[in-house]
A = this chain, B = another copy of it.
Amino acid sequence: MALSEPNSRSLALNTATLGHNLDGHGAGWSVEQVIDACAERNLGGIVFWRREIGDRAAEIGNRVRAAGLQVTGLCRTPYITGTEAPKTLDEAKASVDMAAALGTSVLTIVTGGTEPGTKGVLETQKHLAERVSQLAEYADGSGVRLALEPLNPMFGGNRTCLFTVAEANRVCDWINRPNVGVAVDVYHVWWDTTLEEALKEAGPDRILGFHLCDWLENTSDMLLDRGMMGDGVADLATLSDQVKGAGYDGISEVEIFSASNWWQRDPADVLDTVVERFNALCDLSSC
């Protein structure tokens, strides 16, 4: 980043941080209000969720770029594996189309859980590789890359079959396509002391995203009690240095699910805090 640019240009907002405007959380900001608020604070990008986009992908993508930001990513395909995964890849392919229409280069995949009738993780991971390979073939030429996101092992069973960056690397090796990589989220990987090595193995071609929040010492809800950067026990400065040290020079995305704390606040204040804490992190690390 050029010295003349503020840190915030390296920062993207994942809209989940403002409560999705769903289920009674968040202040009900429209997509346009979110874009304007991010532009006012000179952020570099926004990551949306499919349910916010509907049939307005191209319009929203253009609106973001007109405001001087990029669409950093789209969350996410439906599950690819497990009991809750759709039987066909139709919905996943529609997600690729939506990402392309938005003009973003990254579509995140939370894999889904253990395949019915199987035990353990290896069989499911092999099934995942087959399905994602088909999806990657579909995405070829669209400009959209698929980011496999390993989740904290607490989400095994029904949400994921990938638990570490090292495992995501292995599945990427099996798939062996340039448009499949890894999303690194500190909430899921902060505890992993083999992470630095796995990130180096992934390298700049494969690391497709870096997601920030914090792991609170006392996490009251595993899904919806993520901490704001600086409020928890994750060593964010070291993690950030490791990701950048592995060659990732993309944007850092803040993604905080926090039903009982941040989602209860004025989204303008939340966004101000996000920028302030990101600046504090940049004082300690590469960003």
Chain B binder among A40-48, A89-97, A173-181, A189-197: A189-197
Residues of B within 8 A of A58 (CB): none
Q: Are A157 and B233 in contact (CB under 8 A)?
A: yes
Within 8 Å of chain B (Cβ to Cβ): is A279?
Answer: no
Q: Which of B83, B156, B236 contacts A190 (CB 8 A)?
A: B156
Within 8 Å of chain B (Cβ to Cβ): is A52?
Answer: no
Q: Are A191 and B121 in contact (CB under 8 A)?
A: yes
Residues of B within 8 A of A33 (CB): none
Q: Which residues of A contact B (CB under 8 A)?
A: 83, 113-114, 118-122, 152-154, 156-158, 163, 166-167, 190-194, 215-219, 222, 232-238
Q: List, sorted by A's number, 28 A–B pairs whose CB atoms are closer than 8 Å.
A: A83-B217, A113-B233, A114-B217, A114-B233, A119-B233, A119-B234, A119-B236, A119-B238, A120-B233, A120-B234, A121-B191, A121-B193, A152-B153, A153-B153, A153-B154, A153-B191, A154-B154, A154-B219, A154-B222, A156-B190, A156-B215, A156-B233, A157-B216, A157-B233, A163-B191, A163-B192, A167-B193, A222-B222
A218 CB to closest chain B CB, in angstroms? 5
Nearest B residue (CB) for A232: B157
Q: Are A235 and B154 in contact (CB under 8 A)?
A: no
Q: How far apart sit A236 and B119, CA to CA, in the bound complex (Å)?
A: 8
Q: Are B158 and A113 in contact (CB under 8 A)?
A: no
A50 CB to closest chain B CB, in angstroms? 23
Q: Which of B153, B157, B167 contacts A218 (CB 8 A)?
A: B157
A121 CB to closest chain B CB, in angstroms? 6
Most buried by B among A113, A217, A218: A217
Most buried by B among A163, A193, A232: A193
Q: How far apart sit A217 and B119, CA to CA, in the bound complex (Å)?
A: 10
A106 CB to closest chain B CB, in angstroms? 25
Residues of B within 8 A of A236 (CB): 119
Residues of B within 8 A of A120 (CB): 190, 233-235, 238
Q: How far apart sit A154 and B151, CA to CA, in the bound complex (Å)?
A: 11
A135 CB to closest chain B CB, in angstroms? 23
